[in-house]
Chains A and B, each alone.
Chain A
């Protein structure tokens, strides 16, 4: 972004990579997949690069409002300094905090989740798939809490997946009834409290009961938890966990 700005250019969108997109080895591949799609669609975008910083979501949900607001106010200042008006996120937690919580601190930009953007391109016909590309693979979609219940986004991911494969199946608990992966609210970063089961195991078992061979996710935390769940069941050879962006890249062979 700094380079574009120096050249006096303004991108249409700012792509907010997020800490997981930048640092989590598995989720980096999702960030890569998404920029491949952005390039394929010839979308004008920029990233903040080293000027990007944590949105403050994990701090806020762990009760550290002070640290959250420090991060938020500094992020807002940087985004404003570049005159950003539209942000695309791949992480639902970043999406939720930009869309719902930053405005309380004066932020005025529009926040778009990547699935909304991609669905728009599908509707307008600019993005289309050969349904045979993935061979009708049996996919089940795990709703991230921060897209689903938190922001009522149940339609777009399913609409995209139905274009990618004829084999979309639902888990018993889906959409607003979906069961959490166990990673939100900073659970990702700490040991679980004493109990009789891990949340991610419970959810993975439910996903496996659908007999899908691909579990599609749309959140970095869900990806970590579900991938761990598949491993804990020793099923990583037959069952794969992909982000929707990765499935699109596979389908388009980008």
Chain B
């Protein structure tokens, strides 16, 4: 009974902290602008099954992608076992889900096998981070804390897996005696359980309890650490994929408020007929945290700083300042900084800083070729170019600021309807003297 009460108290504390974090996150989401309507659930489900559960984009780098996929699939299976542990912890039962019969055997067996596989992958990840220089993990945005963050999360997962296997081994050791029955199948642990056979039963029981508590407490700690680290990814990536923008990568979002203005300029007689809901906002484009859409913010929370985007960016690869990963990390950092003030003081809150200039410089934004290599590569379907264009929109339409070459083409398009300085009257010059060879 004492164990149950202790467990209930810890669980309540965990859920309490977690719901505080989530409610805070929701308050930040409320500060954001609308993006696109969420429809086409069939298509979304399909994208989620392939990109999230099928890991299709992570497999664009087949070798290291495979290790990630193993960890992801392992998490999915092992999560069922964690739910059972919570039920056991609260009710005082042991292996509460065993009534599932053969399905239970399957879940436990997969969890046991994945426990070992995930542990191996994590050791590879840690080794790779600590012993090798991986270019993708470097960059101006990658501070010491970013690396620490990654290593802490990996270490926690390793402890989770070791405690899981320890728990299974001790469980087998305790229950493989006459009069007791083993619930579930544990292919890996049954091979390793032998190392406990020399120990007295009491000691094995202590090991079992230690591993059980270590595992579940680590899950609780992990769940509350994640939202404050880049590994919020663990919770946010699947929803982010489900809520992906479904348009072709080449499509930019339309600014309906501009359409309203342009229509009024071109067709003033129709001006009054426009819906009142489409009114010009206070600001065109993105300058600061409150200008981004809910999808931009969700993107920033789903990002785990893997750097696949930056590693394929033509600007970054040729030494320019732009790094798509940095743009996404900056969004999150700026919301963290300005969000509390905005929540407290309303949208008029000003801390004399802004996302643009203080975090992201125009030089970075103007280096983008909009090639979409970053968005194509992102394993969780983050859209970087849309956000870069939104910031260019602010620079151009609010501050009339752009590199001179770009101002020149704006002038040409306005004056002669082409990016180059040629008269519309010369538009057919190319077609003179075309003759087909007479065969």
B434 A179 Cβ-Cβ under 8 A: no
Number of A-B contacts (CB under 8 A): 223
B320 A63 Cβ-Cβ under 8 A: no
Q: Does B263 interact with chain A (Cβ within 8 Å)?
A: yes
User: CB within 8 Å of B: which of A178-222?
Assistant: 179-180, 182-187, 189-199, 202-203
A65 B413 Cβ-Cβ under 8 A: no
A198 to B369, CA, bound (A): 12
A6 to B251, CA, bound (A): 35
- Considering only CB atoms, which chain A residue lies closest to B428 in the complex? A49
Note all chain A residues with C-beta closer than 8 A to B252.
Answer: 60-61, 101
Known: A66-B258, A180-B314, A254-B436. A150 touches B319 (CB 8 A): no
Q: Does B402 interact with chain A (Cβ within 8 Å)?
A: yes
A197 B318 Cβ-Cβ under 8 A: yes
Known: A180-B369, A190-B366. A65 touches B284 (CB 8 A): yes
Q: Does B360 interact with chain A (Cβ within 8 Å)?
A: no
- Chain A 92-106, CB within 8 Å of chain B: the 1/0 string? 000010001100110
A165 to B397, CA, bound (A): 48
B376 A149 Cβ-Cβ under 8 A: yes
Q: Does A84 interact with chain B (Cβ within 8 Å)?
A: no
Known: A22-B422, A36-B436. A67 touches B414 (CB 8 A): yes
Known: A36-B436, A190-B403. A185 touches B262 (CB 8 A): no
A128 to B151, CA, bound (A): 59
Q: Does A139 interact with chain B (Cβ within 8 Å)?
A: no
Note all chain A residues with C-beta closer than 8 A to B393.
Answer: 63-65
Q: Does A247 interact with chain B (Cβ within 8 Å)?
A: no
- Give the distance to chain A from B101, nearest Cβ to Cβ, in Å: 45
Known: A54-B413, A101-B254, A189-B405. A62 touches B396 (CB 8 A): yes
A31 B266 Cβ-Cβ under 8 A: no
Q: Does B272 interact with chain A (Cβ within 8 Å)?
A: no
Q: Does B410 interact with chain A (Cβ within 8 Å)?
A: yes
A23 B418 Cβ-Cβ under 8 A: yes
Q: Does A19 interact with chain B (Cβ within 8 Å)?
A: yes
A100 B417 Cβ-Cβ under 8 A: no
Q: Does A127 interact with chain B (Cβ within 8 Å)?
A: no
Q: Which of B285, B321, B413, B429 contacts A58, CB < 8 Å?
A: B413
Note all chain B residues with C-beta closer than 8 A to A63.
Answer: 285, 389, 391-397, 402
- Give the distance to chain A from B80, nearest Cβ to Cβ, in Å: 35
B418 A65 Cβ-Cβ under 8 A: no
B427 A197 Cβ-Cβ under 8 A: no
B434 A62 Cβ-Cβ under 8 A: no
- Give the distance to chain B from A228, nearest Cβ to Cβ, in Å: 14
A146 to B254, CA, bound (A): 18
A28 B430 Cβ-Cβ under 8 A: yes
User: CB within 8 Å of B: which of A1-55?
Assistant: 17, 19, 21-24, 28, 31-32, 35-36, 39-40, 47, 49-54
Q: Does A253 interact with chain B (Cβ within 8 Å)?
A: yes
- Give the distance to chain B from A161, nearest Cβ to Cβ, in Å: 22
Note all chain A residues with C-beta closer than 8 A to B331.
Answer: none
Known: A63-B285, A199-B314. A193 touches B363 (CB 8 A): yes
- Considering only CB atoms, which chain A residue lies closest to B322 in the complex? A193
Known: A58-B409, A193-B321. A73 touches B436 (CB 8 A): no
Note all chain A residues with C-beta closer than 8 A to B429.
Answer: 22
A73 B413 Cβ-Cβ under 8 A: no
User: CB within 8 Å of A: which of B321-377?
Assistant: 321-322, 363, 366-373, 375-376
Q: Does B419 interact with chain A (Cβ within 8 Å)?
A: yes
Q: Does A120 interact with chain B (Cβ within 8 Å)?
A: no
8 more contacts with CB within 8 A, not counting A100-B247, A177-B312, A182-B318, are A56-B413, A62-B406, A63-B397, A66-B261, A100-B251, A145-B371, A150-B248, A202-B317
Query: A residues engaging B (CB < 8 A)?
Result: 17, 19, 21-24, 28, 31-32, 35-36, 39-40, 47, 49-54, 56, 58-67, 69-71, 73-74, 96, 100-101, 104-105, 145-146, 149-152, 176-177, 179-180, 182-187, 189-199, 202-203, 253-254
Query: B residues engaging A (CB < 8 A)?
Result: 60, 247-252, 254-255, 258-259, 261-263, 265-266, 284-285, 312, 314-315, 317-322, 363, 366-373, 375-376, 385, 389, 391-397, 402-406, 408-410, 413-414, 417-420, 422, 424-431, 434, 436-437, 439
10 A-B pairs within 8 Å (CB atoms) are namely: A23-B420, A31-B430, A62-B396, A63-B395, A69-B255, A73-B259, A149-B373, A179-B317, A190-B366, A202-B317
